[in-house]
Amino acid sequence: MITEINQRDPSSNQPPALRLQEILTSISKAIECGNIGESDSLVSELVKFLDSISDAIESDPSNEDIKRIASEILSEIRKFLCSPSLDQAIIDALSFELPKAVTKFAGLSSSCLEIANNIIDRLVATCSPRDMLSILCEALDSLIKTIQECDYFFPLLSGLSKVLLSTQRRHFEQAKVAVPVILKVLKTVSSESDDEDKEHQHLFDQAIGIAKSIRAVSFKLEGRMNEKLCALLGLYVLQIMVLVSVSMGCNSTSCIPLVSQLSSFFSCCHLSYLGLITGSDIDTMTSLVVGEDEDDCMSCQSYVEQGASISVIWGHISDQVAQAAGEDLTAVKGELQSNQAKRWQAIGMLKHIFSSGKLPWEFKKHAIDFLLHITDGNISQKNNDDNSDLSSYMLSVFATLQALITVIMYTPSSAMRKNAFDAFKRVLAEVPCSEKRDLLKAMITNCSSPSMVAILLDLVRQEVLKESNERTSTGKEEIPQGKNKACPNTLFWPAVVLELVDLILKPTKGGPPPLPEHGDAVLSALNLYRFVLLMESKEDTNSTVLSNSNLQKAYNEWLLPLRTLVTGIVTENNNDYDQFAVDTVCTLNPIELVLYRCIELVEEKLKRAT
């Protein structure tokens, strides 16, 4: 084994421990003599020697002899650094390279991990905190490129926790350098490593230890510097909240204690559930941490927003977590139920949970339950006189509705699918009809699922019926005070129907819709068109749907081409008895029935017009 290592370092045939002693002694003598060039060369030789051992371990990770040699090497380094007669200049020279080198052995065994911890603790205790912070951050950044196992990072993270406590000035700037590096390690290791939950728990324990160090430092500061450091701590904690939730789920027994610890930082960071779920606390923290000409923290914005939403949902899941955060979630829900603007903000924030491809379904189920709580009861009726402007929330509400569609389409749970659809309808019900028109059109246009398009078109049909009933009950000219002022007393939805039916029956790519693939959407579009034809025929109104030009357009551009397509497909498959042909004919039968009824109605209207 010694020969194998020496083949990687052919300058010596000595046993590794003796070779190490020789190099360390040579470094000491060179520094004592003031020979900086020689000492730098010898430090490089030390790194090369240690790399030769780590390379041997990497090539044969199960070899116990190499692990024993690695433990002996680490013990010799610790013994050397702890010598009371060792000059500080020697420690300083070694501190630039040793953290990176020794952590490559930390994950080999519990003994190696303990000794690596001792070495880095010794360096942290004796060297400049400012220098050590940069050294440890660089070591973390380098290590993450080749290693993803949790154990290897513990000594460096533990060292950073101690360094942050040791800094004497520029505390915010020092922490701001360290936090992105730490989060990069946490994101990479928790998402890419194969470690079990227990190892991930230890990793997050280290991260929480660093948060405790930042909090301890903040207690020493006052004024603006305290606010800035607490804001940075808040951003850090919220991102860890995401990583814990993604990595460990919400069923792990160790997850609640971790999340409770993270939530306990909220009071120090001046965070509240209401401020988190509406996003106002994020704006405050970001403005404190990010300077006028900086954008270094903006890349984490989506993680922070997701963490804010997740934090509140954890409080909804567990009373223990809510208590750790010092929050009364019942009061928060009540505030959201009674305040339309804040409820829209909360709805927009929940998109970060529903749209996540990494969060477990179980967590999304709890988020849907929370959404159902805050939209519970006749909220739209209670807030009819609320003049809050949705325009500033339109994009985020749309994103949440889109994310809910994804949940409805892909969740494996039928109960969750039902609850998600109920939540979807509740949110949609609160949107003023002019914005609702735009939202539904956009969702139908962007939806790739014919079945989901059919469901959305049925929601449009319900809006048409609702508008018709309101117009009938309130009269033709008068709109009662308190009713939806955004929607004039005109035939609003039927005009939208024409656009949507045109989108389905005459796709933008040209030609008739693909059948039978889009059969659900086509059937729903025909049913919607037939519904509007029958409804408008009964009302004494100048409906655009029944105008001669629109009837001609529907007849020539939608119905006749579709009839030709459907007849051809049915004829082609009627004499074929394989399962696909049978399924195709069965799919087209209801389409054919509704299609011919639409053609009859349009022809009848056109004859009357002439």
Read off the pLDDT of each residue in 378-393 and give the average, rounded to a whole number. Answer: 57
Tokens representing residue 564 in the block: 């030709």
* Residue 13 confidence (pLDDT) above 80: no
- 477 pLDDT band, cuts 50/70/90, is very low
Instruction: Look at the block and give the residue holding tokens 């004039």.
Output: 488
Range name among 88-102, 379-393, 489-503 with the lowest pLDDT average: 379-393
SS (H, E, C) 541-555: CCCCCCCHHHHHHHH
Read off the pLDDT of each residue in 62-75 and give the average, rounded to a whole number. Answer: 86
**DSSP readout, 508-546?**
TTSSSPPTTTTHHHHHHHHHHHHHHHHHHHHS-S--STT
The angle, 0 to 180 degrees and rounded to 10, between the axes of the packed helices 88-95 and 110-126 is: 120
Read off the pLDDT of each residue in 178-204 and give the average, rounded to a whole number. Answer: 85
Tokens representing residue 278 in the block: 């509406």
> Which residue, among 454, 529, 443, 522, has the nearest Cα to 493 in the 3D structure?
529
* Residue 446 confidence (pLDDT) above 80: yes
Tokens representing residue 333 in the block: 């829900």
Contact 101, 77 (CB under 8 A): no
**DSSP readout, 438-503?**
HHHHHHHHH---HHHHHHHHHHHHHHHHHHHHHHHHH-SS---TTS-TTS-SS-HHHHHHHHHHHH
Give the chain's length: 610
* 236 Cβ contact partners less than 8 Å away, ≥ 6 residues apart: 179, 182, 183, 210, 211, 214
* 553 Cβ contact partners less than 8 Å away, ≥ 6 residues apart: none
Tokens representing residue 339 in the block: 């305040």
Please tell me the distance from the alpha carbon of residue 376 to that of residue 380, in angstroms, as a whole number: 10
* Residue 559 confidence (pLDDT) above 80: yes
> Which residue, among 366, 367, 336, 339, has the nearest Cα to 352 in the 3D structure?
367
Judge if pTM exceeds 0.85.
yes
Read off the pLDDT of each residue in 15-28 and give the average, rounded to a whole number. Answer: 91
DSSP 8-class letter at 406: H
Contact 94, 82 (CB under 8 A): no
Collapsing DSSP to helix, strand or coil, 91 comes out as helix
- 392 pLDDT band, cuts 50/70/90, is confident
pLDDT of residue 478: 45
Collapsing DSSP to helix, strand or coil, 200 comes out as helix
> Which residue, among 403, 273, 390, has the nearest Cα to 350 in the 3D structure?
403
Tokens representing residue 54 in the block: 């780590």
Please tell me the distance from the alpha carbon of residue 609 to that of residue 546, in angstroms, as a whole number: 10
pLDDT of residue 356: 94
> Which residue, among 160, 196, 197, has the nearest Cα to 175 in the 3D structure?
160
Read off the pLDDT of each residue in 218-236 and give the average, rounded to a whole number. Answer: 93
* Residue 1 confidence (pLDDT) above 60: no
Handedness of CA 344, 349, 352, 353 (dihedral sign): negative
